Amino acid sequence: MGTNFNKLWNDPKFIDPVQKAKIDFEVALIGKLIEARESKGFSQKELADLANLKQPAIARLESMKATPQIDTLFKILQPLGYTLAIVPSDQTQEKSAGTTCIVE
């Protein structure tokens, strides 16, 4: 199954490169958010309280059932001690299909 998925995932006839880049970016971003939350030792509930959100909002975001708005990202990143940055692609640490996710 993995081989078929990889073939399809990398086939521009199956998935548009722009859509693929968007998905790759979202996966990288959410992964970084989860990593940051866990490294601080916060539960979803604790992070939600600190960000003035409800725990289900954090759960939906982490399970990729919802795409976060910019203001929500800032609410979540602030108690984690991070911010978002837009940098030239030649200065990035992680690259995936031309998209970059840097959470500093």
In terms of pLDDT, which residue wins out, 42 or 93? 42
Q: Please work out, in degrees rounded to the nearest 5, the angle formed at the alpha carbon of residue 51 by the alpha carbons of 46 and 54.
A: 70
Residue 46 has pLDDT above 70, yes or no: yes
Q: How far apart are alpha carbons 17 and 10 in whole angstroms?
A: 9
**Quick check: helix, strand or coil at residue 85?**
coil
C-alpha distances out from residue 80 to 7, 31, 39, 58, 83, Å: 37, 14, 9, 13, 9
Q: Which residues pair with 96 in a beta bridge?
A: 99
Residue 89 has pLDDT above 80, yes or no: no
91-101 tens-digit pLDDT: 554 444 444 55
Q: State the DSSP code for 104.
A: -
Predicted confidence at residue 95, as pLDDT, reads 44
- CATH fit for domain 16-91, picks 3.40.190.10, 1.10.260.40, 1.20.1560.10, 1.20.120.1200: 1.10.260.40
Return mean pLDDT, the chain.
84
Task: Give yes or no for a contact between 66 and 60, defined as CB atoms under 8 angstroms apart.
Answer: yes
pTM of the predicted model over 0.85: no
